Amino acid sequence: MKLLLIGDVVGNPGRRMLARELPRLRTELGLGAVVVNAENATAGAGLNAAHAKEIFAAGADAITLGDHTWNQKEFVGQIDALDRLVRPANFAPGCPGKGWRLITLPTFRFALVNLLGRVFMQPADCPFRTADAVLREIPKDVPVFVDFHAEATSEKATLAHYLDGRVTAVVGTHTHVQTSDARLLPGGTAFITDLGMTGPYLSSIGRNLVPVTKKFLTGVPARFDVAEGPCVLEGAVVDFDPATKQARAIEPVRVREAQ
């Protein structure tokens, strides 16, 4: 069985790229399921219900989020109606939405967990202890995929080794830069530090270069709008055995539009 996990979708350009390429990828790669990180899908920061439905219509089976989960204010009242979507499980108790879900498809089912890093990030509960608690709730007979939305590569790698042998895959998101370290860990868990980004690549991680450059030069705050232009779709395919729940391979995916 193969499952594709796609890196952060950025704004309208990223949603357009996803809608155009995902149906083809599902067929060509023989995918059993697709998980999309969509925490930047609405105007580059957060998500709303309309765009979540658009991403599902493009072919996603489930959606993960991250530190921008609540940037679109209306989403607080929308998230509970989206039953194939997870937000970070280590948000404070009482937040709407779910930190993990069991995704049931015609051919198999899997558990999807979302966690938020704490290094160089906004306050959150411990992702390591939260992962332990979540795994006690998940049925033992299903593969488990973890989207760890974090800044520090060290934190991502350490959590992956901490969960090695207990989950099928740990994939990092958030930096919008695909890393070259996709590999199988000794216990059979697939890992990549960051899936990358689905959005405009002539940019600063998806944002218009002009205001970002000005901010670096002057330190004056500016509005960082989503860039325009050619896009890239990035992620990774995990080949796994649903019976053993162990990964057999992980391969990065990159589709780039011409300039």
Q: What pLDDT does 254 receive?
A: 98
Tokens 């994939």 -> residue: 171
156-168 pLDDT, tens digit per residue, is: 999 999 999 999 9
Residue 68 annotated as catalytic: yes
DSSP three-state, residue 28: helix
Percent of the chain whose pLDDT exceeds 70: 100
Interatomic CA distance for residues 206 and 213, integer angstroms? 13
What's the pLDDT band for 258 if we cut at 50, 70, 90? very high
User: Which tokens is 198 given?
Assistant: 């689905």
Q: Please identify which of the residues 68, 149, 174, 176 carries the catalytic annotation.
A: 68
* Three-state helix/strand/coil letters over 68-136: CCCCCHHHHHCHHHCCCEECCCCCCCCCCCCCEEEEECCCCEEEEEEEECCCCCCCCCCHHHHHHHHHH
> Which residues in 172-183 are b (16+ Cβ under 10 Å) and which e?
bbbbbebbeebe
Q: What pLDDT does 249 receive?
A: 98
Tokens 């973890």 -> residue: 146
Residues 6+ apart with CB under 8 A from 159: 115, 127, 128, 131, 146, 148, 150, 170
221-239 pLDDT, tens digit per residue, is: 989 999 999 999 999 999 9
For residue 185, count CB atoms less than 10 angstroms from its CB and return exposed for 0-12, middle for 13-18, buried for 19 or more. Answer: middle
Q: What pLDDT does 79 receive?
A: 98
Interatomic CA distance for residues 34 and 49, integer angstroms? 19
158-214 pLDDT, tens digit per residue, is: 999 999 999 999 999 999 999 999 999 999 999 999 999 999 999 999 999 999 999
Q: What is the pTM of this model?
A: 0.97
Q: What pLDDT does 129 receive?
A: 98
